[in-house]
Structure 1
Amino acid sequence: MDFEKIELAPTADFHVHLRDGEMMRMVVPTIRLGGVDTVYVMPNLIPPVTTVEAAKSYLARIQPLAPDVKFLMTLYMTESLTPEIIDDAASAGITGVKVYPAGVTTNSQSGVVDYESFFPIFEAMQRNDMVLNLHGEAPSTPSGNFIASEKAGESAVSVLNAEKLFLPTLHKIHNAFPKLRIVLEHCTTRDALDAVLKCGPSVAATITAHHLWICVDDVCGDAFNFCKPVAKTMEDRVALVRAAVEGGNGKFFFGSDSAPHPVTAKTGVKKAAAGCFTQSCATQLVIGAIEEAVAKGWISREVTAASLEDFLSNRGRKFYKLPEHAHGRKIQLERKGAKVPDVLKNATGDIEVIPFRRGEDTWKLTWK
């Protein structure tokens, strides 16, 4: 991978948090700075987006902030959803429904506890060809609730094994609804990648930019590297980079999980908010991580512009049944001494967000 200049189709980012209010007005205009023209919008606002009307209203707030970006809208899985709402959502052009296990990440208080109780919703989604997006973690075992004995018959759930312990739930849903398109979001482990490969063609997975860069050691001591699911081992990181390049028969594609938080929510608190902000350099960060992996010898096959474009754009567009190259535009990346910004501020300076890999060298991106 010895490029000085690369030209690609625009990136399609199939997992993005845009927030609301002033934070939304600050981060939405950064989407195109990261080379992205298609965004799959997460619904975990306060209150969450659980109705067709709420999704339409949210789209009406974000679209004027980035007129050249295609926004794909989602609903938040909650007990208020019904098969009739799913029918209406599909008719209104809403693409999917996001499932958050209760309490595992930012704004997931209204999330799912019992997946089987939502089987009628999954059936309606399968009938309407909507996409089910799974945050693939089991809720952590509360402190003091675990019996430290083999007789307990189960492992305590922590951030390090939560993804692995969720995988049987993925297979259970897929086996019950084999035609339902399912995305296991932000995979962090080799086990998760293997689980997706064992499923049929209706199951895929997203890989973030930040998980291509870091492992658990990078999270310890740096609140701005803390996300959910947390980064895992170096072996898992290598597996993710290889999956991004090799593709897994089209099953693995890009979803940044870019999640902006004010500096005050990441530092100086008892519990740092989960999320890495990567939106303004999304494409650049992915290419940089793959470039580093090649230099370290983790990837033996040749990495071409076409293989980068497959991960960043083509595979995801195909799974979501979108045109391969939206708008006919191109992005160009060059080695010209660009750096990831140290901080992103709103116009009044009262909100500050620290980007992932702040201050580090990156690629210069321009639209063609």
Structure 2
Amino acid sequence: MKTLTIRRPDDWHLHLRDGAMLEAVLPATSTHFARAIVMPNLVPPVVTTADARAYRDRILKAVPRGHDFTPLMTLYLTEATRADDVEAGFRDGVVTAVKLYPAGATTNSQSGVRDITKVQPVLERMAAIGMPLCVHGEVTDPAIDIFDREAVFIERVLEPLRRSIPELRVVMEHITTKEGVAYARSGGGNLGATITTHHLIINRNAILAGGIRPHYYCLPVAKREVHRLALREAATSGDKRFFLGTDSAPHLDPLKECACGCAGVFCAPNTLSCLAHVFEEENALDRLEAFISLNGPAFYRLPPNEARITLKRQEEPVAYPKSLVMRAGPVTIFDPMHPIHWNVCEEAI
């Protein structure tokens, strides 16, 4: 196959940041993607419907002229979140989902949830109105090895939560383990899971072998090869429970390349090329559209996009820049560590 025309995709997990960073990175998404679930972990976080409305306005103002892009806003769940505000935001179409960050689990998660029982009334209201909960699925117990935190979260937090509120619609975000894949498949119609581009391509050797390489460090951290292979099988299977959430998370290089570097991989610019490469390797190009364009809208109860994009396989590798250059410094773009021959040749903007 040399060309592939599919419905325009969506990104169901995206970090756009704010200010100058937002303006710099947004075009990498809005060029190819029609919609994106936008993460709320700003400083300060997006905790109310009013916050979400204001942030959405800033995003829309930054969309380049001629681009057709819709940000889907999320609220940062705290133990002070009010159920009435959440419902009002959802009913008014301002807010699409609520994000659960266990306190201290990842970037700017210090205001997250420490005691899940304290947000039970909010979660019960969400279940009643059909509003999805997006979950960063890691425990923060320092006694638990970082490579085991996703599996332990499923056992200790997610399964008890779903047993107590079975009607709650949950997205397991950026799963990284075979246990995450298995649990998503066992969960029925109210459970979905996003998979990132980079977790389909790298395992933990990319971070640790041959020296510390901070631009492959993300949270959840990449795991063993057996887990990467499980993710690839799930993503390329066509199973409607799995869909793309890039978790593209830009940081200035000095904040990555330091004694305590930030977690995050900026993969928005070359995600579609990388995914076509992965699906070609798995003999599953006919299922790429399901993963990036159909399964996500189905879970979120939204129509798929009518616009199309075309990917073309070219003889010479696609040349992507090493970084996005901002006035404050460069932001390194994800390097898949092998040549990529698929390119978007008809951009839907």
Q: TM-score, normalised by structure 1?
A: 0.88
Contact 2:184 2:193 in 1 (8 A): yes
Q: Distance in 2 between matches of 1:192 and 1:203?
A: 11
Whether 2:236 is the aligned partner of 1:245: answer yes
Equivalent position of 1:15 in the other structure:
13
Deviating beyond 4 angstroms after TM superposition, the runs of 4 or more aligned structure 1 residues are none
Measure how far apart 1:291 and its partner are.
Answer: 2.6
Q: Which residue of 1 aligns with 2:152?
A: 165
Amino acid at match of 1:136: G
8 A contact 2:174–2:247 mirrored in 1: yes
Q: Which amino acid aligns with 1:234?
A: E
Given that 1:189 and 1:240 are in contact with CA atoms closer than 8 Å, whether structure 2 keeps it comes out as: yes
Partner of 2:34: 37
Q: Decide which of 326, 330, 348 is 2:308's aligned counterpart.
A: 330
Contact kept, 8 Å, 2:48 with 2:86, in 1: the verdict is: no
Q: Give the corresponding residue for 1:138.
A: 139
Q: 1:264 aligns with which of 254, 263, 266?
A: 254
Deviation sequence 1:155-214 (CA, Å, 0-9, x none): x31210110110021111111111211001000000011112221210110000000001
Equivalent AA in structure 2 for residue 11 of structure 1: P
CA contact (8 A) 1:341 1:359 kept: no
- Aligned AA for 2:186? K
| Structure-2 change in CA distance of 1:26 and 1:358 (3 Å) | farther
Tell whether the 8 Å contact from 1:186 to 1:207 is kept in structure 2 after alignment: yes
CA distance in 2, matches of 1:179, 1:194: 20
Cα separation, partners in 2 of 1:218 and 1:110, compared to 1, 3 Å: same
Which residue does the alignment assign to 2:328? 350
State the distance in 2 between where 1:204 and 1:247 align.
13
Change (3 A) 1:164 1:96: same
Structure 1 gap segments, 5+ residues each: 142-155, 295-301
2:295 to 310, 315, 339: 315
Looking at structure 2, the residues matched to 71 and 173 of structure 1 have their Cα atoms a distance apart, in angstroms, of: 28
State yes or no: 1:189 paired with 2:177.
Answer: yes
- Identical counterparts, % of pairs: 35
Letter in 1 for 2:100: V
CA displacement, residues 321-351 of structure 1 (integer Å, 9 cap, x when unaligned) = 1112x2x2211111233223211013xx323
The one-letter code of the counterpart of 1:191 is: E
Q: Within 1, Cα distance between the matches of 2:276 and 2:19?
A: 31
AA at the equivalent of 1:101: P
Q: Does residue 212 of the first structure (1) align with residue 200 of the second (2)?
A: yes
**1:270-326 Cα deviation digits (max 9, x unpaired):** 21100000111222121222333x3xxxxxxx5243x110001100010001112x2
The verdict on how the C-alpha distance between 1:103 and 1:123 changes in structure 2, with shifts beyond 3 A counting, is: same
Cα deviation, 1:50-95, whole Å, max 9, x if unaligned, reads 0111100000001132251111100000122111112211122111
Matched, 1:303 2:284: yes
Using the alignment, how far apart are the partners of 2:280 and 2:262 within structure 1? 29
Alignment of 1:180 with 2:159, yes or no, is no
Paired with 1:285 and 1:84, the residues of 2 have a C-alpha distance of: 41
Contact 1:73 1:96 in 2 (8 A): yes
1:358 deviates by 6.8
Per the normalisation by structure 2, the TM-score is: 0.93
Matched, 1:285 2:265: no
Q: Which residue of 1 aligns with 2:223?
A: 232
Say how many residue pairs are matched: 336
Question: How far apart, CA to CA, are the structure 1 residues paired with 2:163 and 2:337?
Answer: 46
Distance 2:275 2:160 in 1: 32
Return closer, same or farther for 1:323/1:330 CA change in 2, 3 Å cut-off.
same
Equivalent pair of 2:201/2:336 in contact (CA under 8 Å): no
**Whole-angstrom distance in 1 between the partners of 2:59 and 2:337:** 28
